[in-house]
Amino acid sequence: MGLAAGQSRSVPDHEYSPSIFLDKGLLFMKTRALLLTTCLILSVQNVLSADEWPQWRGPMRDGVWRETGIIEKFDGPQIKHRWRAEIAGGYSGPTVAGGRVYVTDRVAEPESAERVLCFDWTDGSKLWEHAYPCNYGKLSYACGPRASVTIDDGRAYSLGSMGHFLCLDAATGEVLWKKDPDEFKVRVPIWGVAAAPLIEGDLVIVQIGGENACVVALDKRTGSRRWAALDDPASYAAPIVIDQAGRRVLVCWTGIRVVGLDVHTGELLWEHEFGYTRWVIAIATPVLHRDRLFVSAADKGSLMLRLLPERPAVEKVWWRIGAGEKPTESLHSLMCTPYLAGDHLYGVSRYGVLRCLDANTGDRVWADETAASQVRFGTLHIVRNGENVWMFNDRGELIIGRLSPGGFEEISRAKLIKTTRGQLNRRDGVTWSHPAFAYKHVFIRNDEELVCASLAADEP
């Protein structure tokens, strides 16, 4: 029955009960918590579904960044940083996976030690670090570790300059297992152990340079040895795995030859001599395109091999070498891993000249002197994204461009990070480390800091 105007209603005590408001409050809190949880799950799914950079040269180890929604050009001459984090010296490029950024460095005080560092990708806050004593002795270029950390299945695999090999929990930094250099009797090259670890199935494979163990394969979960192969001196070039004649073949460029090993047993399937003149200087990763395998060194020029389809074997297509380090029309790569596409290949010679070669003959098609420094050790790193290439040079510049048989087309260029003198004591410094591209961002380091910058087209 309704109330007449001016009448009041007597409300029973139970309708004033605080439990009514508590129940409503709890319902609100539960709803809010559910919404926050949903947002967090969607955020994590978005990160995990985005392109990551879990190892040297990206997800497929091929120098390709497959993410979309990227800017077409830079807004100005300087790229704005999302964050920066203080680190010490080192040559290793960062890697990115599971919402974390990994890099290694070296500190000299209070004692010489190598460190594996992990940062939150969103704000650069340090999540953990693992340090271990490491005496560099007479190692040349003693700035810090060389090899990028490889991330796989919740584990971080780190290879130090003197051959210390660690498997860490990627989330916490806890050491799951480790191998000291003495176990393999590592013969450290003049510039240190440098080839980034490779994951193949349940194996982790490293070119570590041990006695009768230039290349070793370990169980990635336990660290137990599966096989060891070759007594070659180690090079600095990271191995890759290819498919050939119905088999998985490990391609490794050692200090004296390019070899194909059975990835499961270490059996030598094929080899082609490609050594050195004064000392081992093989740095650039072998590159594959269809049935062609290409390697290039600063002293030995360029070698093109063809993979036989019916059996695991190779044959030489051509070998081109110039008259010297500088007066050459060939390609003498130092740190730049070349880009092989169809009938042409692109790379940077020892004095910073960007060149295009005919992949069928090795003849020079064109040369460009604008992308990198035109000095000894001038270099850049090439990463493909769609029709464009992203090139990071030794001056700390990030360049968006295109490479074709017709020439190098520069679209946009901006400064990403300052040069420093720890990696090379050149007057204006250098930036030699390879960048990582993940979550529509770029991550790069010098001797002092690790920085992150957005490259997203929809970023305000």
Higher pLDDT: 233 or 460? It is 233
Report whether 114 contacts 164 (CB < 8 A): yes
Q: Count of residues for the chain?
A: 460
The pLDDT value recorded for residue 15 is 42
Q: Is 114 inside a domain boundary? A: yes
Mean pLDDT of 112-122: 98
Token pair of 172 as six digits: 């916490």
Total domains in the fold of the chain: 1
Q: Is 388 inside a domain boundary? A: yes
Q: Is 17 inside a domain boundary? A: no
- Given a cut of 60, whether residue 137 has pLDDT beyond it is yes
Mean pLDDT of 162-190: 98
Got the DSSP string for 27-92? HHHHHHHHHHHHHHHHHHHHHHHS--B-STTTTTTSSB----SB-SS-SSSBPPPSEEEE--B--P
Tally of helices (H runs) and strands (E runs) in the chain: 2, 32
Q: Is 277 inside a domain boundary? A: yes
Mean pLDDT of 142-146: 97
Q: Is 304 inside a domain boundary? A: yes
Range of the domain at 377: 50-454
The pLDDT value recorded for residue 292 is 98
177 exposure class (CB count in 10 Å sphere: 0-12, 13-18, 19+): middle
- Given a cut of 60, whether residue 39 has pLDDT beyond it is no
Token pair of 444 as six digits: 């790069």
- Given a cut of 80, whether residue 23 has pLDDT beyond it is no
CATH code of the domain in which 184 resides: 2.130.10.10
Token pair of 236 as six digits: 């600095």
Mean pLDDT of 36-42: 44
Q: Is 376 inside a domain boundary? A: yes
Percent of the chain beyond pLDDT 90? 86
- Given a cut of 90, whether residue 113 has pLDDT beyond it is yes
pLDDT band at residue 32, thresholds of 50, 70 and 90? Answer: low
Mean pLDDT of 278-283: 96
- Residue indicated by tokens 């990271």: 238
pLDDT per residue over 422-446, tens digit each? 999 999 999 999 999 999 999 999 9
Q: Is 10 inside a domain boundary? A: no
pLDDT band at residue 389, thresholds of 50, 70 and 90? Answer: very high
- Given a cut of 70, whether residue 36 has pLDDT beyond it is no
The pLDDT value recorded for residue 330 is 86
pLDDT per residue over 328-339, tens digit each? 778 999 999 999
- Given a cut of 70, whether residue 414 has pLDDT beyond it is yes
Q: Cα-flanking dihedrals φ and ψ of residue 7, to 5°?
A: -85, 150
The dihedral through the CA atoms of 380, 386, 388, 390 has a sign that is: negative
Q: What is the DSSP letter of 374?
A: S
pLDDT band at residue 350, thresholds of 50, 70 and 90? Answer: confident
Report whether 195 contacts 235 (CB < 8 A): yes
Residue 273's nearest CA partner among 331, 314, 324 is 314
Mean pLDDT, the chain, whole residue set: 91
Got the DSSP string for 107-143? E-SSS-EEEEEEEETTT--EEEEEEEE---TT-SSTT
Percent of the chain beyond pLDDT 70? 88
CB atoms within 10 A of CB 125: 10
Mean pLDDT of 47-65: 88
The dihedral through the CA atoms of 214, 217, 220, 225 has a sign that is: negative
Cα(33)–Cα(365) distance, integer angstroms:
62
pLDDT per residue over 294-315, tens digit each? 999 999 999 999 999 999 999 9
Token pair of 68 as six digits: 């979309």
Q: Is 15 inside a domain boundary? A: no
The pLDDT value recorded for residue 460 is 58
